[in-house]
Structure 1
Amino acid sequence: MAASGRWSTDLNGGSFAWSYDIGVPPVPGDLKPGIGLSYSSASIDGRSANSNNQSSWAGDGFAMGQGFVERAYKPCADDGVENNGIKPGDLCWAYDNATISFDGHSGELMSVGTDEWRIQGDDGTKVTRVRDSARGNGDDDGEYFKAVTPDGTQYYFGYNRLPNWAAGKPETKSVYTVPVFGDDAKEPCHAATFATSWCQQGWRWNLDLVVDTKGNDITYWYKPEMNSYGRNMKAADDTPYTRGGTLERIEYGQQQSDIHSATVKPMARVSFGTAGRCLESGTVCDFAKIDTNRQYWYDTPWDRNCKAGTDCDKGRFSPTFFTTTRLDTITAQTLQADGSYKDTDRWKFDHHWGTADSDYQLLLSSVQHTGLAAATPVAVPKTTFSYTPMPNRLDKDGDGRLPFHKKRLTTIADEYGGQIDANYSAPACSWSNLPAPEDNTTRCFPVKYQPVDTQPVTNEWFNKYVVETVIATDRTGGAPDTMTKYTYLGGAAWHFDDDDGLTREKLKTWSQWRGYAHTRVEAGSNQSFVSQEDHYFLRWMDGDRSDPADKAKKRSVSVSDGEGTTLVDDEAWRGFEYRTEEYDAPGGKIIGAFAPTPENIEKWGLN
């Protein structure tokens, strides 16, 4: 039995992860895109009253990320802006923040100089920001980002007009923009009045060019989805912005010097087909009829759509971010002698609606791979997915609110006869015995929510789920079942919300999950376990706020590495596994231990 996907558990945080590789044709030079479908249960745990809860284009909990840099802005209403006593729905500049995610690198970008950045935790990647109006990417000053990894590979985000571009050539359309007001002095686009202090700024710069040290390249092309809203509370000032978008194609097997060449084309291409987020039969899902049939686009807030050139009234006075599409197919192609492209492989994605509570989830039902290179297509069996609903919100009788059920992936039956079953923990808290947020060591967490300023802040509690067991089954009968059991020892940790300059102080609390410091893994069968490993982690709890009434009060946290060294639970080592113990049998004696402490890593030169 060969597995078509891989599963894992985040031993520090307890989340379940599963991935499925999309194999693309090889090309000379070996530089090709890594494309894969990935699932994380942690993304579902994070769904609360304060989050955008529309499922991704691949299905809720699934991602197919190609890479991006993203910046967050703050509502002008939270920045003290009022017009005649009315707070506008526009976005305002907060500060120069950004996060990055690409090719195994991700995290907050930390400034180390003018337009120079490092990824939090510094993996050696150097990130620079460039402003170049010649890029024509829609950002007010042509802002884009470049990352260089330690091996010398260059990644461009928002470059738009690729090398060798000339008028009439296609653009990658990789930057998604939104109107942003610089209401304070020295902020971008600041002017004499609030009404004139705005410009289009990027909120996402998608990866659109990769170049290795040999000049081989990969290019990424996008299809943005546009909308308009009534800027500064004026319906007639309909202002365009990018509400979302999808990856349209990837091209590779080409030298950077040949981009846009009419004769030297990329040797391979991957195309992404989309369909509407409407699953009804007949013609009701025709996008041309969405104004009439929007009730069938269950998770699409089409009432927030405003056509360019029309008055954006009826409350459409703020940008709303959503998509009308879902991933339908991925098709790999290779260049032929006549200059055309031939399909070699296709993956088909089917979806269904999850309807727990009154909230709809777009859920991935199956993926099917079909080989197209031969005269007769060859389709392998589908990989199918099953889900179990779990309440995200800690429900309370009589509060008039739903428990916010969300379905989590629990069973994967793959195309080669394997099956994975993930079993999660039960809700851990009750309203009759809630912990103090600052001392919380349970698997539930507080969320402060205020729909509008005229209403009081609501204190909600939400559940966090961790994986307890994972069972692997050979449905062909050729191998025995295996089981992996996870035991989380000691209390969980929750960190006070970081001072990100975006979240209002009155909405901050201890809601950042930092997981467990000690996790035990036992493997074997459902009859008995034959192995045990214990894993120990740093969580960055040193310096965390410890008093709800006094932000200056901080906690000091340090741990022993088991080898006589005391470690400070520092920010730089968040999630770091500082000790691993291997036992001769479950509950037996330690036969091996590895302690790659931060001090030893520096001493041994392992970083």
Structure 2
Amino acid sequence: MTGVKPVPSRFTKAPDTATGVFTPTAITFPAAADAALDLSSAPAASGNPAPSRATGTPVWAQPVPDAHGRYAGPVRLNVHVLGHSAALAAGVTGVLLTVAPAGPGAGPVRVGVDYSRFAQAYGGNFGSRLRLVRLPACVLDTPREAACRQATPLAATNDATAKTVSAPVTLGAPGVGAATTTTAAPMVLAATSDPGQEGGSAGSYAATTLKPSGSWTAGGSTGSLRYDYPVSMPPAASSLVPRLALSYDSAGVDGQTASTQAQASWVGDGWSTPDSFVEQSFVSCSDKPEGSASPVSTSDMCYNGPILTLSLNGSSSALVWDAGKSVWRPQTENGEVVTHVTGAGNGSGTYNTDYWTVTDRSGTVFQFGRNQLPGWVAGKPTTNSVNSEPVYSAHAGDPCYNAAGFSASVCTMAYRWNLDYVTDAHGNAMAYYYQKDTNYYGQDNGARMTAYVRDSHLDHIDYGFTDPNAYGTPPDRVSFSTGPRCVSGTCTPLNATTKANWPDVPFDLICAQGSTCTSQAPSFFSTVRLTSVTAQQYSTATATYQAVDSYALAQSMPPTGDGTSPTLWLDSVTHTGSGVSPGGPAAPITLPPVVFGKVQLANRVDNVTDGLPAFYRYRIASVTTETGSVISPTYQLVNACTAPVTIAPAANTSSCYPVSWTPPGYTAPFLDWFNRYVVSKVTATDPTGGAPATATSYVFKDHGAAWHYDDNELVQPKYRTYGQFRGYSDVITLTGDGANDPQAKFETVYYRGMSRDNNTTAVTLTDSAGGQHDDTDQLSGNVLETTAYLGNGGPVDHSTVTSYWVSAPTATRSRSGLPALTANWVAPAETYTRQAVTTGGTTTWRYTETDTTYDGTVTDTNVGLPVRTYTHTVPAGAPYDLCTTTTYTANPAVHRR
């Protein structure tokens, strides 16, 4: 179906009933049937008439009384339900039906469909994505005609408790309205799914895995639980070795909202592998690309300006394009040289056949989307490192604009260039290879079915060789094995019979080549999970790669209990050593698994009146290590919100934050509120060895959380609000349980970058010595002051205050409706330390200071490097002072400093 435009809808909340194991329910779509509905029992006076069910169908109807409680509509209706094959032929994933008056009377009637028997038909929260639309009558005769699939949305209500979707229509008189439709002829209605391009009650499949919450990482001020499971690399033939770990961050789960990618990663919820990439963000052509409307409103992607993000070695930064200087710079400056290489002819099939290089100051070069590595010839493998999709250019000057019109202004553009080749200054190299998954959708309002890359994942990494010998036999390799994103029942192949066993895969959005796709927008999702990581070395004796270390992942899909679909959870990781020794193979050694317990917490501030699910997601509740010790975090809402939330977003300091999105059928964005948890305590126990428990507690002092305005362009202008988490300003860490051992106390005060937020007033922070500091945006997450105490309740032992240097911009790009995006250096400029000295019961203070000066000339090759350091007492005393001056000799050939 095409042409869907939003009108008001609402949701009704499902009850929260979690059980231990997810079990798919039986799925039955209605068969073709005809039935009559009798509405004659509708009261003439005020009252709410009960719905009447069309026997043998999932369709029901309910009279809608007027303001005086009278109903003047038809008392009998004829209902015709088409079989599911006919519905699919018309691009309808749910139910296709007609309803017509069978007697006199004209008035509004609420028509609904009970979807309880097919709520889990396609996975991916299918039931909650259903809405009711009207289709042209010709869809019954020529269902594959694009004009006959033009859908008119209705003011739908999705009741997750009763599992029904319904909307008011007016029957019994000719004519067509907008949200409420009037007719005397049979009306064609459809209960069909929505990909969630404007968000979904449990997440969206129109979003890639790039999340705005990636910018939330702001040091210890966030209070999140972070846990890394290292993946060891055996000694290699070179010093350039991939750094691998399975990394967990509870903040990533808190960041799961209505507008972010609905699925967990291929490891499990909250987990990530070290993915590095450059991503370009586009916007739906139904919005306002580059701030002004597209000449044609479609659900395709449109170019939205040079909005790119660099993710490298666990850190993310926006890339700033300075048109005047013709340079790209990372927003968080670190001396990296970023180059956009075009016209490479690298076989990627994208506009400009482009790729990216990033060179750091050690001379290491990271290449993204190279695809054909140095030495490539026909017949050699490519890295499959470029993810692409059709992108329209809505305005003159855009990359693929064509004066012939909108439909001609399209080309295949990369939305993600994955890291695929790394070289260091010594000539060592690594190569990354990927698997890509292709899907199809109805491009240009269904005019043609077009391929795009819906997902990609690492296949293997080769290392231990020198450039340009990627196509030789690398001595070292890390392989990533995957399995189906299904953990119980019959999994393969994924088809109409097995789809219920894939609960977080939106099967209705899968479209194969040669099919007529039901979706007119690209959607992004995975059908695989990571099952093992294996470090290998090449054996010349056997001419094969042999395992050295392997890590097996066990996963499950626990039910949520709130009506939303389960998603992937990592239960354990098991490490096995291959037993290879100088004397030959030996028996493998398998360690006990590291097991991850879970606790279920509501992401949404649960408000029964808004009809949205609590959106339960699991967090790590315990980690049982290989030696048997148990690590247990405790989660807390420091300043919990109560529903309904009435806080003004700009004044919010609570533990919840607003997310603006448009539910299917709404005409305007809806403000939804989500919880932000902190870890208040981590306990480590030794159940097997009997060692005493240790505890670390975290106290977030009563200054409240900081929520910055969404100045990230990944958030569309119409959805921007105060939803960017900047952490807590004052965090106390207590080590020890206070009962069996004394507690050590440390306090950390943070910058949060709240000065001039959304053009408001300046924010000044005051340290313990009375010094004042501007809480400028670039300093968010940096430490202002650390203080150590002589035990909990004791006096201050020492403290250090840090002031920072923020450089002038090295690159600047103006943005519509937002402050200019700038790239800046940030580095400590002054550290001021005081140390308590107690003699004879009298305490005095010893002060020291270190001042650092940096090369601040933004055009200089040494910009950002320290050129002078002065360490001295306060007041300065020549015998104790130390001044260091540093000069640099550059090697421009390899960008080394």
Aligned: 1:535 with 2:748: yes
Please say if residues 420 and 431 of structure 2, whose CA atoms lie closer than 8 Å, have aligned partners that are also in contact.
Answer: yes
Shift of 1:280: 1.6
Shift of 1:587: 2.2
Aligned: 1:91 with 2:301: yes
Q: Separation in 1 of the partners of 2:720 and 2:431?
A: 40
Match of 2:62 in 1: none
Q: Separation in 2 of the partners of 1:457 and 1:134?
A: 43
Match of 1:195 in 2: 407
Residue number among 339, 351, 363 corresponding to 1:152 in the alignment: 363
Match of 2:571 in 1: 365
- Aligned pairs for 1:568-607 (under 5 A) are 568-599=774-805, 601-602=828-829, 603-605=851-853
Decide whether aligned partners of structure 1 residues 144 and 563 sit closer, same or farther in structure 2, where only a CA change above 3 A counts. Answer: farther
Match of 1:204 in 2: 416
Q: Separation in 2 of the partners of 1:11 and 1:504?
A: 28
Percent of aligned pairs sharing the same letter: 34
Shift of 1:99: 1.1
Match of 1:53 in 2: 262
Shift of 1:277: 0.6
Residue number among 58, 81, 87 corresponding to 2:294 in the alignment: 81
Please say if residues 730 and 747 of structure 2, whose CA atoms lie closer than 8 Å, have aligned partners that are also in contact.
Answer: yes
Please say if residues 15 and 467 of structure 1, whose CA atoms lie closer than 8 Å, have aligned partners that are also in contact.
Answer: yes
Please say if residues 483 and 526 of structure 1, whose CA atoms lie closer than 8 Å, have aligned partners that are also in contact.
Answer: no
Match of 1:549 in 2: none
Aligned: 1:174 with 2:422: no
Aligned: 1:322 with 2:570: no
Give the secondary structure class of the aligned counterpart of 1:451. coil
Shift of 1:433: 6.1
- Aligned pairs for 1:275-290 (under 5 A) are 275-281=483-489, 284-287=490-493, 289-290=494-495
- Aligned pairs for 1:114-513 (under 5 A) are 116-192=327-403, 193-235=405-447, 237-261=448-472, 265-281=473-489, 284-287=490-493, 289-312=494-517, 314=518, 316-338=519-541, 339-356=543-560, 357-359=562-564, 360-372=566-578, 373=580, 374-426=585-637, 428-431=640-643, 434-452=646-664, 454-489=666-701, 490-498=703-711, 500=713, 503-513=715-725
Q: Residues 173-192 of structure 1, C-alpha deviation per residue, up to 9 Å, x if partnerless? A: 10100111111110111112
Residue number among 566, 576, 580 corresponding to 2:772 in the alignment: 566
Shift of 1:413: 0.5
Q: Separation in 2 of the partners of 1:560 and 1:231?
A: 56
Q: Residues 462-513 of structure 1, C-alpha deviation per residue, up to 9 Å, x if partnerless? A: 111011001112233253211111111111100111162x544332211110
Q: Residues 329-358 of structure 1, C-alpha deviation per residue, up to 9 Å, x if partnerless? A: 111110112432111121110101121122
Q: Separation in 1 of the partners of 2:470 and 2:711?
A: 43
Q: Separation in 1 of the partners of 2:654 and 2:229?
A: 32
Decide whether aligned partners of structure 1 residues 432 and 246 sit closer, same or farther in structure 2, where only a CA change above 3 A counts. Answer: closer
Residue type of the alignment partner of 2:609: G
Give the secondary structure class of the aligned counterpart of 1:232. helix
Q: Separation in 1 of the partners of 2:389 and 2:781?
A: 34
Q: Separation in 2 of the partners of 1:541 and 1:68?
A: 29
Q: Separation in 1 of the partners of 2:322 and 2:335?
A: 13
Residue type of the alignment partner of 1:268: D
Shift of 1:566: 1.7
Match of 2:48 in 1: none
Q: Separation in 1 of the partners of 2:552 and 2:437?
A: 23
Please say if residues 219 and 782 of structure 2, whose CA atoms lie closer than 8 Å, have aligned partners that are also in contact.
Answer: no
Residue type of the alignment partner of 2:445: M
Q: Separation in 2 of the partners of 1:495 and 1:121?
A: 18
Give the secondary structure class of the aligned counterpart of 2:345. helix
Give the secondary structure class of the aligned counterpart of 2:571. strand
Q: Separation in 1 of the partners of 2:362 and 2:768?
A: 35
More divergent stretch after superposition (64-73 vs 593-602): 593-602
Q: Separation in 2 of the partners of 1:111 and 1:561?
A: 36
Give the secondary structure class of the aligned counterpart of 1:303. helix
Shift of 1:116: 3.0
Please say if residues 365 and 423 of structure 2, whose CA atoms lie closer than 8 Å, have aligned partners that are also in contact.
Answer: yes
Task: Indicate the RMSD between aligned Cα atoms, in angstroms.
Answer: 1.9
Q: Separation in 1 of the partners of 2:295 and 2:738?
A: 62
Please say if residues 368 and 379 of structure 1, whose CA atoms lie closer than 8 Å, have aligned partners that are also in contact.
Answer: yes
Residue type of the alignment partner of 2:369: G
Q: Residues 538-595 of structure 1, C-alpha deviation per residue, up to 9 Å, x if partnerless? A: 11111112xxxxxxx5221111233443211112211110211111111211111122
Match of 2:176 in 1: none
Q: Which is greater in Rg?
A: 2
Q: Separation in 1 of the partners of 2:218 and 2:301?
A: 38
More divergent stretch after superposition (584-593 vs 156-165): 584-593
More divergent stretch after superposition (589-598 vs 116-125): 116-125
Aligned: 1:38 with 2:247: yes
Shift of 1:596: 2.4
Please say if residues 384 and 412 of structure 1, whose CA atoms lie closer than 8 Å, have aligned partners that are also in contact.
Answer: yes
Q: Separation in 2 of the partners of 1:416 and 1:127?
A: 45
Q: Separation in 1 of the partners of 2:657 and 2:234?
A: 45
Residue type of the alignment partner of 2:304: A
Decide whether aligned partners of structure 1 residues 513 and 57 sit closer, same or farther in structure 2, where only a CA change above 3 A counts. Answer: same
Q: Separation in 1 of the partners of 2:567 and 2:335?
A: 38
Residue type of the alignment partner of 1:286: T
Aligned: 1:101 with 2:305: no
Q: Residues 246-302 of structure 1, C-alpha deviation per residue, up to 9 Å, x if partnerless? A: 1000100000122213xxx21111111100011124xx2112x42331121100011
Aligned: 1:110 with 2:320: yes
Q: Separation in 2 of the partners of 1:554 and 1:89?
A: 35
Shift of 1:208: 0.5
Q: Separation in 2 of the partners of 1:245 and 1:526?
A: 49
Shift of 1:415: 1.2
More divergent stretch after superposition (553-562 vs 206-215): 553-562
Residue type of the alignment partner of 1:449: W
Q: Residues 375-418 of structure 1, C-alpha deviation per residue, up to 9 Å, x if partnerless? A: 21111000011111111111113332211111111211011222
Q: Which runs of 5+ in 1 are unaligned?
A: 1-7, 546-552
Q: Separation in 1 of the partners of 2:544 and 2:282?
A: 44
Q: Separation in 2 of the partners of 1:118 and 1:479?
A: 51
Decide whether aligned partners of structure 1 residues 233 and 404 sit closer, same or farther in structure 2, where only a CA change above 3 A counts. Answer: same
Q: Which runs of 5+ in 2 are unaligned?
A: 1-216, 806-826, 830-850, 855-865, 867-897
Decide whether aligned partners of structure 1 residues 561 and 514 sit closer, same or farther in structure 2, where only a CA change above 3 A counts. Answer: same
Please say if residues 116 and 126 of structure 1, whose CA atoms lie closer than 8 Å, have aligned partners that are also in contact.
Answer: no
